[in-house]
Structure 1
Amino acid sequence: MNIKLRLIVMNFLQFFIWGSWLISLGGYMIVTLNFTGVEVGSIFATMGIASLFMPAVMGIIADRFFNAERVLGACHIAGALLLFLAAQIEDYPSLYIIMLFNCMAYMPTIALANTVSYNALEKNNMDIVKSFPPIRVWGTIGFIAAMWVVDLLDLTKSPMQLYVSAAASLALGLYSFTMPPRPPLKSGDARSFSSTLGLDALVLFKSRKLAIFFIFSMFLGAALQITNLFGGSFLDDFKNTYPGSFGVEHPNLLLSISQISETLFILTIPFFLYKFGIRTVMLFSIIAWVLRFALFGIGNPGDGLWLLVLSMIIYGMAFDFFNISGSLFVEREADPAIRASAQGLFMLMTNGLGAFFGGILSGWVVDFFTSGGVRDWQSIWFTFAGYALLLAIIFPFVFKYKHVPDQLKAIKH
């Protein structure tokens, strides 16, 4: 099989696994298992806990001891077993522990899949910069496909979504062992734990500009998963007021517009970065988060469906203009010797600390506006919108940065 096609299959399954439960698990836990907002938020916060150290640990193992494709396969097989167990658990303490271990198995595979992909392309004498993005986009397609499968099979409020994810994880685990071998690096080339985690880049906090950037990255990281946590249960709560409506009957199909938008907004990033610079692009992202939450607050699956669709479209700007543009900014500002560590630090602040605090705090907000089992979603979403608005007001005053268009072209690898 052509190596590009093999990598497309790998990336498709990599994110199909995640898409099978990430968007709908919150609704399943709230609606079917009757978990509280704090309980749901804390389970999603396990992704943040796992992201703090597991990618670094597995990166070290792949760099020093075992082939990367074998580590990738072992992680996915372990994840499959844990997801299979999670599907059979209905109490909060047990599900929390199982999902924590599942995230510890899954989160490192995102970076490991990239490593295996880069190695395969390099071995086939292909330009990684040109060849990988068209392959990686199939990961997003896999995520969307999983959302559609779970929705069309009516599994959004069922533990069966975890079985679907487990099956895909087992398939990818076995498939990973067939990928081109990527052996451990020579001792002199292997990165240290602190370097992989991004701790070598802590020196960047000496720069006021970069310190403010990383702090805001953490604050914005807290917003990344909020609609994933509670979007499904939000739409389900309209089942009595808008029975049979598209959003209630097919929540994952509606929410998948966000991921479709994400793939499209990625293409606009070069234009916006060259035209406006990172400071303005980041501000666009923060304002987009304000609109994302506010439109959820005033929309509904009936006559307000267009407001929800607009929110899904805006998500692409909110997510990409922060994640992708922020990564490019870090790549340019960091010294070449610590660029890899700087990217690790960026991930630590967003997907680690940010995701952890976002999961916990958002759960508190949902429970605060819940009385007698009835959730005041408008107040919930407006609270999140107010949080993003506060960041939007503060950010341009504290983050001082002069845009020089040609600087983006100066990134050297």
Structure 2
Amino acid sequence: MPPLYKKTGDKSLVNLLGLDAFILFKTPKFAIFFAFSLLLGAALQLTNAYGDTFIQDFKNIPSYKDLTAVKYPAIIMSISQISETLFILAIPFFLRKFGIRYVMLFSMLAWVLRFGFFAFGDPADGLWMIVLSCIVYGMAFDFFNISGSLFVETQISPEIRASAQGLFMMMVNGFGALFGSLSSGLIIDKFFTHADKSKDWHGIWLTFAAYALVIAIIFPFVFRDKHGIEVKHAADLA
């Protein structure tokens, strides 16, 4: 792959500010990659912003308010952190077996399951769905964030690699989080908030699941990356 950037003796303001990686938007493959990074960052913001609130809202329903999961939602949500650790260990296998492109796709499908299980779960008979949602969160979070970072590491020339990693993080945790926060707040307030200010969580999570599903359907058709030597190297790096 020819380098996308050449060193020069003089450093411009762009170089000094670490904005070199923005040149990557001129290349369709990288522009698409960063666009999907933003969209997946929005999904991450949705689960961070509303996961605990969703479970805590069950305290307003008499049949659920005394359940342990409702009283101590942090215990249930901590399963997500355990899952993150375990799925990190699985990433090298998945990268070798399927390649970066499919690992990213698995992440998007995991977001569909994450939101879908929340939509049909509850702290009583449906607690297993909430637990499964927390388990698949590890795949949803790790598979895109780590494989995306490895994609940058193996596909972008060393001169702008650090800047590109920063751009990737900014798209996920900066612009993606902002987009997810603003858009979800508007949608929930307009379509899923009742007159008494209670939330239609079933509708909210199904909408988020549909959002992740649309991303997952579009992704393999617009993002094409060969499963070759660079993917094997990425698996070694993991």
Q: TM-score, normalization: structure 1?
A: 0.51
Measured in 2, the distance between the counterparts of 1:259 and 1:388 equals 21
Of residues 263, 268, 290 in structure 1, which corresponds to 2:85? 263
Question: Which contiguous aligned blocks of 4+ residues in structure 1 show a shift greater than 4 angstroms?
Answer: 191-198
Partner of 1:275: 97
Partner of 1:234: 54
Partner of 2:186: 364
Partner of 2:215: 391
Would the alpha carbon gap of residues 408 and 308 (structure 1) be closer, same or farther in structure 2, given more than 3 Å must change? same
1:229 maps to amino acid: A
Measured in 2, the distance between the counterparts of 1:407 and 1:283 equals 15
* Contact 1:291 1:385 (C-alpha < 8 Å) held by counterparts: yes
Partner of 1:301: 123
How far off is 1:225 after superposition? 2.1
- Deviations 1:175-217 (CA, angstroms, capped at 9, x unpaired): xxxxxxxxxxxxxxxx987458652011222221111111110
1:350 maps to amino acid: V
* Contact 2:155 2:230 (C-alpha < 8 Å) held by counterparts: no
How far off is 1:384 after superposition? 0.5
How far off is 1:365 after superposition? 2.3
Q: Which has the higher contact order (CA 8 A, sep 6+)?
A: 2
Residue 374, structure 1, aligned to residue 198, structure 2 = yes
Measured in 2, the distance between the counterparts of 1:233 and 1:404 equals 43
Partner of 1:210: 30
CA RMSD of aligned residues (A): 2.0
**Secondary structure, aligned partner of 1:223:** helix
Partner of 1:245: 67
How far off is 1:243 after superposition? 2.1
Counting matched residue pairs gives 222
Would the alpha carbon gap of residues 196 and 301 (structure 1) be closer, same or farther in structure 2, given more than 3 Å must change? farther
* Contact 1:198 1:343 (C-alpha < 8 Å) held by counterparts: no
Partner of 1:179: none
**Secondary structure, aligned partner of 2:58:** coil
Partner of 2:133: 311
Gaps of 5+ in 2: 1-10
Q: TM-score, normalization: structure 2?
A: 0.88
Would the alpha carbon gap of residues 192 and 300 (structure 1) be closer, same or farther in structure 2, given more than 3 Å must change? farther
Residue 350, structure 1, aligned to residue 172, structure 2 = yes
Measured in 2, the distance between the counterparts of 1:236 and 1:225 equals 18
- Of the two, which has the highest radius of gyration? 1
Partner of 1:292: 114
Would the alpha carbon gap of residues 301 and 277 (structure 1) be closer, same or farther in structure 2, given more than 3 Å must change? same
Would the alpha carbon gap of residues 226 and 389 (structure 1) be closer, same or farther in structure 2, given more than 3 Å must change? same
Identical amino acids, percent of aligned pairs: 62
- Deviations 1:332-371 (CA, angstroms, capped at 9, x unpaired): 1110111101101101111111011111111122212001
2:31 maps to amino acid: A
